[in-house]
């Protein structure tokens, strides 16, 4: 198979296709807008968008994307192309004789890309979506990936777009919980998303002045969390705020699963650990406790200014990379610069909080308990 550069030298890119897959995320529309504006204004290309992620690729369901279609979408949450986290064309479910069977229908996607006259695909997604992106690159499709997820758990990039917005929403929630915790002398527990990574909890916990941060990367001893809360009481602070990542687990427990979605490529949905932490702390500390599960509020709505800029950089750079023929790569943020890495390197190496890293150390320095 030819590599991206060789393929590019023999062809010219005239039409770009975009798709957004997986869970939605603030900044998706900002990426779409940046791709469309860069493609049209800088390179005079045409752009189409496949709808509902890979399902649109399977059905050949695409729409033209023009300057007009992306007008006004920069601050808007969600994705104008819709998304799906169920449609893996390499393992696509069909019901035959009352039974679900899985088939590889990826070739239909390749045919539909050709039929749509698309020379390069910009695939915006997290781990699952970009795994298929890598697999399409292996089939010879000209793919550039863009790293999306509020969880910030993708390898090779310092930050995914959407993460900053999720942290801001969680921080605001902590600020609001502080005042009610204070008024009622309560322990308020906030459960945040992040799947198996504790980035949202760690960052929001520091920004929102949490007294304890519980993350999957540092299994917690609930007695140690209770001790930290009791120490505060001895200092005259009879309220506490605790942030818990949905993937957190105690030293002798398991992650709490809220749902198993059979037809999803990644069927486990975490959730509910916040209720357990609140109940345990209420018993151990003798203070009333309440849990709030922040859920999809972290994914909805307008992206922060930071995410709008990061999304714009990612989208615009993705088109530049396509025009340079650097296919099979994902755009990345390295320090303050845009860069890229091979999808082969990115996939299967999810990023997690370093328990010995700088941010955890500084959080501990200022007295935040991780229950360890």
Q: Which residue has the tokens 């755009």?
A: 331
**Based on CB atoms, which residue is closest to ligand F6P, 88 or 149?**
149
Contact by Cβ (8 Å): 121, 110: no
Examine residue 193 and tell whether it contacts ligand F6P (CB under 6 A). yes
φ/ψ of residue 172, rounded to 5: -65, -40
**Based on CB atoms, which residue is closest to ligand F6P, 299 or 326?**
299
Region 273-312 residues binding ligand F6P, contact defined as CB under 6 A: 299
| Piece of 70-78, 147-155, 216-224, 350-358 that binds ligand F6P (CB under 6 A) | 147-155
In whole angstroms, what is the distance from residue 93 CA to residue 290 CA? 41
Contact by Cβ (8 Å): 264, 129: no
Distances (CA, A) of 365 to 68, 225, 226, 360: 51, 16, 18, 9
**Based on CB atoms, which residue is closest to ligand F6P, 38 or 304?**
304
Shortest Cβ distance from residue 267 to ligand F6P (Å)?
A: 10
Q: In 10 A of CB 95, how many CB atoms?
A: 8
The tokens describing 249, both together, are 């687990």
In whole angstroms, what is the distance from residue 235 CA to residue 103 CA? 62
| Piece of 70-78, 146-154, 229-237, 338-346 that binds ligand F6P (CB under 6 A) | 146-154
| Piece of 10-18, 47-55, 149-157, 339-347 that binds ligand F6P (CB under 6 A) | 149-157
Q: Which of 84, 52, 87, 80 is nearest to 66 (CA)?
A: 80
Candidates 33, 55, 186, 195; binder of ligand F6P (CB under 6 A) is 195
The tokens describing 233, both together, are 């009481």
**Based on CB atoms, which residue is closest to ligand F6P, 169 or 222?**
169
Candidates 79, 132, 149, 171; binder of ligand F6P (CB under 6 A) is 149
Candidates 17, 23, 56, 133; binder of ligand F6P (CB under 6 A) is 23
Those residues whose C-beta lies under 8 Å from the C-beta of residue 38, and which sit 6 or more positions away, are 315, 316, 319, 320
Q: By CB neighbour count within 10 A (0-12 exposed, 13-18 middle, 19+ buried), where does 22 fall? A: buried
Examine residue 237 and tell whether it contacts ligand F6P (CB under 6 A). no
List beta partners, residue 218: 215
| Residue closest to ligand F6P (Cβ) | 193
Examine residue 151 and tell whether it contacts ligand F6P (CB under 6 A). yes
In whole angstroms, what is the distance from residue 96 CA to residue 168 CA? 46
- Respond yes or no: is residue 221 known to be catalytic: no
Active-site hit among 127, 135, 151, 153: 151
Region 73-102 residues binding ligand F6P, contact defined as CB under 6 A: 85
| Piece of 67-75, 187-195, 303-311, 357-365 that binds ligand F6P (CB under 6 A) | 187-195
Q: Would you please indicate which residues are annotated as catalytic (active-site) residues? A: 151
Binding positions for ligand F6P, rule: CB under 6 A? 23, 85, 126, 149-151, 193-195, 246, 269-270, 299
């Amino acid at each position: 198979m030819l590599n991206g550069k060789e393929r590019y030298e023999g062809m010219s890119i005239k039409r770009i296709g975009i798709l957004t897959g997986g869970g939605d995320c603030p900044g998706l529309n900002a990426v779409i807008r940046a791709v469309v504006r860069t493609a049209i204004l800088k390179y005079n290309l045409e752009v189409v968008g496949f709808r509902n992620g890979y399902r649109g690729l399977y059905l050949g369901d695409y729409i033209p994307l023009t300057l007009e279609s992306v007008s006004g979408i920069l601050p808007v949450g969600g994705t104008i192309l819709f998304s799906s986290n169920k449609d893996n064309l390499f393992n696509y479910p069909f019901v035959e004789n009352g039974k679900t069977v899985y088939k590889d229908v990826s070739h239909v996607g390749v045919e539909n890309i050709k039929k749509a006259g698309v020379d390069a695909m910009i695939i915006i997604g997290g781990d699952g979506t970009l795994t298929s992106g890598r697999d399409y690159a292996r089939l010879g499709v000209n793919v550039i990936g863009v790293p999306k997820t509020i969880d910030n758990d993708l390898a090779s990039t310092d930050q995914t777009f959407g993460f900053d917005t999720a942290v801001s929403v969680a921080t605001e929630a902590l600020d609001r919980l502080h005042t009610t915790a204070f008024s009622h002398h309560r322990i308020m527990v906030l459960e945040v998303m992040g799947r198996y990574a504790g980035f949202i909890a760690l960052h929001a916990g520091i920004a929102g002045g949490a007294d304890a941060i519980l993350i999957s990367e540092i299994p917690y001893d609930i007695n140690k969390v209770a001790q930290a809360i009791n120490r505060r009481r001895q200092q005259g602070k009879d309220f506490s705020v605790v942030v818990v990542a949905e993937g957190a687990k105690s030293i002798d427990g398991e992650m709490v699963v809220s749902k198993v979605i059979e037809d999803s490529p990644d069927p486990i949905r975490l959730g509910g650990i916040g209720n357990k932490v609140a109940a345990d702390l209420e018993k151990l500390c003798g203070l009333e406790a309440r849990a709030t599960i922040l859920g999809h509020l972290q994914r909805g709505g307008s992206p922060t200014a930071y995410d709008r800029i990061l999304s714009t950089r990612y989208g615009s750079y993705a088109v530049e990379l396509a025009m340079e023929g650097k296919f099979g790569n994902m755009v990345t943020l390295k320090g303050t610069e845009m860069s890229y890495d091979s999808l082969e390197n990115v996939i299967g190496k999810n990023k997690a909080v370093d328990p010995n890293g700088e941010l955890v150390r500084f959080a501990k320095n200022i007295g935040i308990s991780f229950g360890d």
